[in-house]
């Protein structure tokens, strides 16, 4: 784990090259714009060739429900 903003791209240099990489994105993308998510995913693909990315997604109506009630 690296304690930096996902948009402080210097964290990428801290990941050893040439090793298997699994990137898990959980509870993150819903806080950013589509443009920010696309930029980040593009950078991850370019920086970690052959990596696997697991992304947690929820439908927009659940996000709205969460904002109203505090849970899904």
| Tens digits of residue pLDDT in 27-54 | 888 889 999 999 999 999 999 999 999 9
Query: Looking at the predicted structure, is the pLDDT value of residue 63 above 80?
Result: no
Share above pLDDT 70 across residues of the chain, in percent, rounded to a whole number? 90
Residues 21, 15 contacting (CB under 8 angstroms): yes
- State the Cα–Cα distance between residues 68 and 8, nearest whole angstrom: 31
Closest CA to 61 of 72, 47, 46: 72
pTM of the model as a whole = 0.73
Residue with the larger pLDDT of the pair 70 and 62: 62
- State the Cα–Cα distance between residues 57 and 11, nearest whole angstrom: 24
- State the Cα–Cα distance between residues 41 and 51, nearest whole angstrom: 12
Mean per-residue pLDDT for 6-24? 92
């Amino acid at each position: 784990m690296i304690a930096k903003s996902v948009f402080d791209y210097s964290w990428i240099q801290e990941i050893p090259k040439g090793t298997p990489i699994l990137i898990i994105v959980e509870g993150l993308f819903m806080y950013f714009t589509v443009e920010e998510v696309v930029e980040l995913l593009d950078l991850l693909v370019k920086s970690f060739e052959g990596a696997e990315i697991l992304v947690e997604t929820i439908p927009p109506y659940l996000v709205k429900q969460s904002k109203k009630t505090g849970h899904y």
